[in-house]
Chains A and B, each alone.
Chain A
Amino acid sequence: MTPAVTILRPGQEKILKYHSGRMGISAVPGSGKTWTLSYLAAKLIRESAIDINQEILIVTLVNAAVDNFSIRISHQLLAEDLLPGFGYRIRTLHGLANDIVRERPDLAGLGTGYQIIDEVEANRIKQSIARDWLNAHIDFFEPYLQYEDYQRDQLYENKNNLPYLVESIASAFIRLSKDRQLTPKALREKLDQSQISLPLVEMGIEIYSDYQDALNYRGSVDFDDLIRLALRCLKSDPSLVDILQQRWPYILEDEAQDSSLLQQEILSLLAGENGNWVRVGDPNQAIYETFTTASPQYLLDFLKREDVEERSLPESGRSTLSIIDLANHLIKWTQNDHPNPEARIALNPPFIKPTPPGDPQPNPGDCPSCIKLIERALSPEQEIRFVADAVESFLQDHPDKTVAILSPRNTRGFKFVDELEKRKIPTVDSLLQSTSATRLSTGAIANILHYLGDPESSQKLSLAYKVWRRAERSDEENWTFYKGNISLIRGIDHVEDYLWPGIAGDWLDSLQQEEKDPQIIGELESFREVVRRWQNAVFLPIDQLILTISQDLFLDPSELALAHKLSSLLRQLGDAHPDWRLPEFTEELANIAKNERKFLGFSQEDEAFNPDLYPGQVVVATMHKAKGLEWDCVFLTAVNNYNYPSGAEFDNFQSEKWFVKDHLNMEAEIINQLKTLIEADPFDWYQPGRASMDARDEFIRERLRLLFVGITRARKWLTITWNTGRVSNRNFPALALLELINAVEKKQ
């Protein structure tokens, strides 16, 4: 929630006086930083007379935020009688990098039509290369492993064990190499010159090299490439920097606490030495740092610079005083009393302040009893049932309130979804993967393609009919009519007698003879026409086939737009995989439909998720996805020492695999080996295990911030639970949770 009318808080007022130069803003959760930045952008457009070829550049973290900004700035400009859509550009870092590379693709070694592959396709390539590499170097990992003989097959064959480990450590290696602008060739030269034995780097280079070859072969770049190539373009051509500085005279950067080294370098070049650059963020909400170069330290350092005006947005009207106290207590305890000294820098002031009297967004009335911190041990299954019971009861009492269940991981989230659906509690799971609207539309096309790949199947034809008439499902009475038709179609012996009747007679005639309702006959005749059209279209290229089908399936503009996007995606995949035919394309669509693949669609949910649109329903999301959002009632789940470790002896760490010796975190180890190679510091040799220990501390800190983010999602009701893990009694409540329980008890 942000102020509905322009009554400014003191912090906002100071910020909106900005005209030029550098400004850094630290903002607490719920302080309305999106609103403030949007308002500032509109003010700058109005006051600084943006020229025909100029724009205010707004850089944010995720696509949903892009839409959020876009909506707010448009409203603001319209309110000021200015034309929306002009004078500003809102981009994620990847979007901005793409814009920069498109200016001079040749400097990046690309042609105009370069393709960007998404994470799923990139992972698919890495997976296959990593598997081949492992097969060719079967004994490579033996020195690192601990297992019993009987476990060997499980270890090597199960894709979640060693194959996954190879893929994930190679991914970490590739990401850091790209962050450091190092090609496989450059790394190879360095390694050849180096005297040190770095076996993991050797492996990393080989996989990285094969991966880049695979991308080159496809004429594609991945997301990490885009960013490093954008920086390369800027560094190569000073006149490009001049032009872009002229084009974007102001840079407003949101979520700056998650800024990476490359992001900072790119924006710094674009802003120029004395340019206008406003950075907003909350270092306490930095939750994307593990194995990336992102760090809240960049923002903290920026805030301390002499040429930077430091501002803050400390007031927040989002939560009750009790929830604010809880969040502030977590900061205080972490800073002063966390038993692990390395964790104490995780959270820092400013503390959250409630809004002043008269604020258009006052804090909800306090309700200490609305906070429930559950100390009782629950098994994972018990936790799911416990939360589902609590949600069910809450919604009965508060059917108009918004509710979220937040879990640390997608997989756990889906388990909650299953339970809620079993209980017929309305659930929204679109934040877990692709949105439900996207999945439904994609699934509809996939079902039709599925039929066209097996045109003789009456069962698949009946499913195609069901999909074609899916809009009628909402009317239960009407649906009986369609259900009858579905059964009729499923029962056809010979599909050709219906679709293409020949001498054996027309199946519809036989229905007529059976004196079936003429309305049914008419309906089936219409469907026959549609299916014939689809069958005639199977000879077209895949993109045109999808568009043909979508014209019969969709009316809604966003669904049609999605069909266009899917058709382009499949065409692109078809070009990359010339051997793909209908079955492979169908499978790809089915993956999206089954939620196995993130595909950004066009529905309202895809663009900017607004929890307030779902009162009385339960949104299930990961904690990461919940950032920037708020609900009346929030359940934070699985807050145990596995997901939120403190560094205690009995803590287990996710990145330390059961089959790897000495608690080594192999991702951390490979990165440390890579840094040893790159930095070549004669006083800082690679020591096995050291990086794994450092990674523990980094993870502990990030998880404290994640917990802070989770707590501050709640407006009034907050419940925190933990579970014992799959192996009984292995996990304990997170230390931070115990501390919060203590604090609440003391207060009471």
Chain B
Amino acid sequence: MPSSKFILFGYNSTMPLTADQEKLIKQDIKSKVFLQGPAGSGKTTAGIHWLTKLIKAGIPPHQILIFTPQRTLSLPYQNTLYQEEVQAHGPVNSLTLGGLARRMVDLFWPLVGIDAGFGTPNKAPNFLTLETAQYYMAHLVRPLIEEKGLFDSLTINRNRIYAQILDNLNKAAVVGFPYEEIGGRLKSAWVGDIEQLHIYDDVQFCADQFRSFCLENNLLDFSLQVEVFLKHLWTSPMCRSYLSQFYRHLIVDNIEEDTPVTHDILKEWLPDFESALIIFDQEAGYRSFLGADVESAQSLKDSCDKIINFEKNLVSEDGIRQVSLGINNAIARLKGTPQSNPEPSFEAVRAAIVSPAENPKYFPGMVAWVADQIANLINDGVSPGEIVVLAPFMPDVLRFTLTNRLDELGIPNQSHRPSRSLRDEPATQTMLTLGRIAFHSWEMLPERINLAYALVQAIDGLDLVRAQLLTAYAYKKSGSDFPLHPFEAIPPHVRDRVTFRVGERYDRLRNWLENINTQAELPLDFFLNKLFGEVLSQPGYGFHDKLDSGNTVAILIESIQKFRWAIGEQLVSDEISIGKEYIQMVNEGVIAAQYVQSWETGDEDAVLLSPAYTFLISNRPVDVQFWLDIGSPSWYQRLDQPLTHPYVLSRAWEHGELWDAEDELAASYQSLQRLSVGLLNRCRKKVYLGMSDLDVRGYENRGLLIRIIQNILQHARRETS
């Protein structure tokens, strides 16, 4: 039996192979194949069989490199190795461009430290995470905004300014142009108010400052890791020889979601491999906002011995395929491009699409309709794991309401968020609030009610009412003394009410918090680690046996740890407390304390709630999809970020060409087509369309997607009649 995880991703190696898949597997083991086909045509399944074939042929797994645009996409391959019949003798290597760059820079640092211009090449490199890079960016840019008036004509949150400058640096790195050209490129495409142009000079100035600062201090953000690797290691015979000897066989999946620089590297690297399988998903390219480039991905064809096409989508039933056809036709009509495709059949389309007889007026009405339909489907025997609920961005309000409703109906469900803010987690709040008590000299003492909330979470058996009582008598914010008083110091009648059992636990926690820093001030992450291990995870405390909280705390500790590693030295020399700075940065939103959730957690048979793009990337076909808020323009409008631009900074964009509303519209059509057809390619039977007249903010939305659906039905009806 394959593991449940393996089935989750939709790749079941026990399924018989299609003729197309057989054709691939029969290729010589020394072949270099470019495999292309639409989503759902069985490409990844074929790739997994290819991997199995390599391993069964006796190739040591460590010689096999699985290369994907993001790590989770290599999981189906990794999971293959757990299967009994595969009998792998070790793990295969999975890499992304970032992983490769970082690994190589780390390994060959003595070779590159001087050439790349680092200030102290004899000291170890300091690899920045997104959070720590953002911290340094804020550190450099904040005074420029406040004192020099940079970006004064922009109305965006400052943290977005920092993030977009970093994004530009990353785009320069993965698209492969010098970062010194960022401002010039953006300016050359600008059609707007001339007075606004200076913001791109500001962007360039900040990017330059940041890069100099990084070089001076041995800091490597993602962009610098990639650039150093490309300029100094990829060109080094020693590094190339190391890579060629280490990796002999290559499997690349979702090449269309990767960046031009990755494509360049792979193109040069291909001749060194004994075998290669490169998998390309037609009609995709969902990560273009991250620099993915479909055109440069296709150029790898020329470097392969053979091109194999998988023609047919194996997932969708006829009705769903007809809807796809209808969408393609409708978008062709919108673009005014001639079309030769037949119109879909009205009956088939109508049978594949389910929508309410009358749209509910309000947003909760849509949620109720969706939950009821899911309940009906499950009653009719559809497995919850075969249902996915999608929205362009799954906002918290929608997710929370729908989850609650499904819980009420007893329907198992899970929610996938590509990233999640730790600030919103009660466990994080509890840990940081207690941290502020223990480090009272930081003068960041929490509000009384927040301490009460933290104590409820921390002490088993303590409720909110007693917590309020306890803090009212035991917590004193003024003065320099430790702010929590012992239980015995509060009046006896209050002690009676709080109960002695809770009092005893409170005292233990209180004493621990008071004494932990008496010798020397612990780093915040050490402190939290000890707090969790020595107190809160023990019987009688709130996190005992709570795996979820444990995970959250572990991620928080890791985040602080990375912050300390990357920034600690700097702060210590400035005599700033690292922990205090971390908490302040979290509160200001500079550090979002976000963490990426892995798909690995989703191994239950449960209805999945997910943002549409995240679901697409997960490559998971299901029987039924719910598309929510289909009136919303978010189904096709890109996230507009005024300081960066995925198209203008792409390789295909010609310098000096202007980006105007026509381009924006064309991009919208392309996004909508890719997204909707991509989703349909991952749907077997039915799509349920949910919308309300007014969205959650009270806006009436009649976006392109809903109008296209109407148009498909009208045309299909006209053709049929």
Chain A residues in the interface with B (C-beta under 8 A): 52-53, 55, 70, 83, 85-86, 89, 95, 102-114, 183, 185, 213, 215-221, 225, 232-233, 235-240, 242-243, 452-456, 494-496, 499-500, 502-504, 535, 538-541, 543-544, 547-548, 551, 557-558, 560-561, 564-565, 567-568, 571, 575, 578-579, 581-583, 600, 602
B587 within 8 A of A: yes
Given A557-B360, A567-B397: A83 in contact with B447 (beta carbons within 8 A): no
- Chosen A-B contacts, 21 in total, with CB atoms closer than 8 Å, are A52-B711, A85-B359, A105-B642, A110-B642, A113-B639, A185-B153, A219-B160, A236-B193, A238-B660, A242-B661, A496-B463, A496-B497, A538-B453, A539-B426, A543-B396, A543-B400, A544-B396, A547-B400, A551-B404, A571-B397, A575-B589
> How far apart are the CA atoms of A504 and B450 in the complex, in Å?
27
- A217 to B158, Cβ gap below 8 A? yes
Taking a contact as CB atoms under 8 Å apart, the answer to whether A602 and B362 are in contact is: yes
Q: How far is the CA of A732 from the CA of B613 in the complex (A)?
A: 69
Q: In the docked arrangement, what's the CA distance between A385 and B199, Å? A: 62
Shortest Cβ distance from residue A747 to the other chain B in the assembled complex, whole angstroms: 49
Taking a contact as CB atoms closer than 8 A, the residue among A455, A503, A557 that contacts B465 in the complex is: A455
Which residues of chain B are near A242, meaning CB under 8 Å? Answer: 661-662
Q: Is the CB of A243 within 8 A of B665?
A: yes
Contact partner of A103 among B450, B588, B661, CB < 8 A? B661
- A103 to B696, Cβ gap below 8 A? no
Does B702 belong to the interface (CB within 8 Å)?
yes
Shortest Cβ distance from A209 into B: residue: B152
Give Cα A236–Cα B333 distance, bound, in whole angstroms: 28
Give the complex CA separation of A237 and B158 in angstroms.
26
Cβ–Cβ contact A112 & B192, under 8 A: no
Which positions 492-549 of chain B face chain A at CB distance < 8 Å?
496-497, 499
Contact present for A216 and B698 (CB under 8 Å): no
Q: Is B464 an interface residue (CB 8 A)?
A: yes
The proximity string for B residues 130-165 relative to A, scoring 1 for CB distances below 8 Å and 0 otherwise, is: 000000000000000000000011111110100000
Give chain B residues whose Cβ lies under 8 Å from the Cβ of A213: 152
- Contact partner, B698, options A83, A238, A557, A565, Cβ 8 Å: A565
Chain B residues contacting A218 (CB-CB under 8 Å) are 157
Residues of chain A within 8 A (CB-CB) of B708 are 52
A504 to B497, Cβ gap below 8 A? yes
The answer to whether A109 and B463 have CB atoms under 8 Å apart is no
Q: Is the CB–CB distance between A561 and B397 below 8 Å?
A: no
- Contacts A107-B193, A239-B660, A564-B397 known; A455 to B464 CB distance under 8 Å? yes
Q: Which of B396, B588, B642 contacts A578 (CB 8 A)?
A: B588
| The 6 residue pairs across chains A and B that have the minimum distance between CB atoms | A561-B362, A240-B661, A539-B426, A500-B463, A219-B157, A560-B364
User: Does B640 sit within 8 A of A, measured CB to CB?
Assistant: yes
What chain A residues lie within 8 Å of B450 (beta carbons)?
Answer: 581
Set A225, A494, A502, A561: member contacting B694, Cβ < 8 A:
A561
Which residues of chain A are near B698, meaning CB under 8 Å?
A: 561, 565, 600, 602
Residues of B within 8 A of A453 (CB): 449
Whether the pair A557, B192 counts as a contact (CB closer than 8 A) is no
- The docked-state distance in angstroms from the alpha carbon of A551 to that of B401 is 9
In the bound complex, do residue B496 and residue A504 qualify as a contact, i.e. CB atoms below 8 Å apart? Answer: yes
Would you call B569 an interface residue if the criterion is a C-beta within 8 Å of the partner chain's C-beta atoms?
no
A112 and B697: CB pair below 8 A?
no
CA distance A551 to B400 in the complex (A): 12
Given A85-B693, A110-B155, do A243 and B661 touch, yes or no (CB 8 Å)? yes
B466 proximal to A (CB < 8 A): yes
Which residue on chain A has the smallest CB distance to residue B154?
A: A109
**Distance from A46 Cβ to chain B, minimum over Cβ atoms (Å):** 15
> Closest B-chain residue to A565, C-beta based?
B698
Q: Are B464 and A104 in contact (CB under 8 A)?
A: no
Q: How far is the CA of A185 from the CA of B154 in the complex (A)?
A: 13
CB within 8 A of A112: which of B193, B365, B640? B640
A220 to B397, CA, bound (A): 21
Check if A102 sits within 8 Å of B637, measured CB to CB. Answer: yes
A201 to B434, CA, bound (A): 51
- The answer to whether A494 and B429 touch across the interface, beta carbons within 8 angstroms, is no
On whether the beta carbons of B401 and A547 are closer than 8 Å, the reply is yes
Judged by a CB distance under 8 angstroms, whether B280 is at the interface is no
Shortest B40–chain A CB gap in Å is 28
Given A103-B661, A558-B361, 15 additional A-B pairs, CB 8 A: A53-B707, A55-B702, A86-B710, A106-B641, A110-B642, A239-B660, A239-B662, A243-B665, A495-B465, A500-B466, A539-B429, A543-B397, A561-B361, A564-B362, A565-B696
Question: Which B residues lie at the A interface, using CB under 8 A?
Answer: 152-158, 160, 191-193, 196, 199, 330, 333-334, 359-365, 396-397, 400-401, 404, 424, 426, 429, 447, 449-450, 453, 456-457, 463-466, 468-469, 472, 496-497, 499, 587-589, 633, 637-642, 645, 660-662, 664-665, 693-694, 696-700, 702, 704, 707-708, 710-711
Which of the residues A114, A502, A578, A602 comes within 8 Å of B156, measured between beta carbons? A114
A106–B699 alpha-carbon span in the complex (Å): 21
Give Cα A547–Cα B396 distance, bound, in whole angstroms.
11
Q: Please pick, from B154, B465, B638, B661, the residue contacting A500 in the complex, using a CB distance under 8 A.
A: B465
- Nearest opposing residue in chain A for B164, CB measure: A111
Provide the residues of chain B in CB contact with A105, threshold 8 Å: 640, 642
Which of B196, B449, B661, B708 has the most chain A CB atoms inside 10 A of its CB? B661
Contact yes or no, A110 B662, CB < 8 A: no
Distance of A602 Cα from B639 Cα, bound (Å): 28
| In the bound complex, CA of A493 to CA of B486 (Å) | 25
**How far apart sit A504 and B641, CA to CA, in the bound complex (Å)?**
59
Tell me the bound Cα distance from A183 to B400 in angstroms: 41
A564 CB contact (under 8 Å) in B639, B645, B696: B696
Are the C-beta atoms of A52 and B661 separated by less than 8 Å?
no
| Central interface residue in B450, B639, B642, B704, by most chain A CB within 10 Å | B642
Residue among A111, A185, A502 with the most chain B CB within 10 A? A111
Q: Are B641 and A111 in contact (CB under 8 A)?
A: yes
Complex CA distance for A110 and B199, rounded to whole angstroms: 12
A70, A107, A560: residue with the most chain B Cβ atoms closer than 10 Å:
A107
Chain A residue nearest to B360 in the complex (CB): A557
Q: In whole angstroms, what is the CA distance A564 to B364 when docked?
A: 8
Decide: B156 and A216 in contact? CB cutoff 8 A.
yes
Q: Is B155's CB under 8 angstroms from A232's CB? A: no
The interface residues of chain B lying within 8 Å CB-to-CB of A455 are 464-465, 468
Given contacts A499-B465, A540-B426, contact A107 B400 (CB under 8 A): no
Q: Evaluate contact between A85 and B702: CB separation under 8 angstroms.
A: yes
Decide: A538 and B661 in contact? CB cutoff 8 A.
Answer: no
From B155, B469, B693, B697, residue with most partner A Cβ within 10 Å: B155
Question: For residue A236, which residues in chain B have a CB less than 8 angstroms away from its CB?
Answer: 191-193
Nearest CB of B to A295, in Å:
27
Question: For B193, what are the chain A residues with a Cβ–Cβ distance below 8 Å?
Answer: 107, 232, 235-236
Q: How far is the CB of B583 from chain A (nearest CB, A)?
A: 12
Bound: A86/B631 CA distance, A? 11
Contact B191 A111 (CB under 8 A): no
Q: Which residues of B contact A83 (CB under 8 A)?
A: 710
One of A107, A185, A454 near B152 (C-beta < 8 A): A185
CB <8 Å contact, A220 and B155 = yes
User: Which B residues are in CB contact (< 8 Å) with A225?
Assistant: 155
Contacts of B365 in A (CB 8 A): 557, 561
Contact of A219 among B155, B424, B700 (CB under 8 A): B155
Question: Please, which residues of chain B bring their CB within 8 A of the CB of A95?
Answer: 699
Q: Chain A nearest CB: distance from B280 CB in Å?
A: 30
CA distance A543 to B449 in the complex (A): 18
Closest to A105 in B: B640
Contact A539 B457 (CB under 8 A): yes
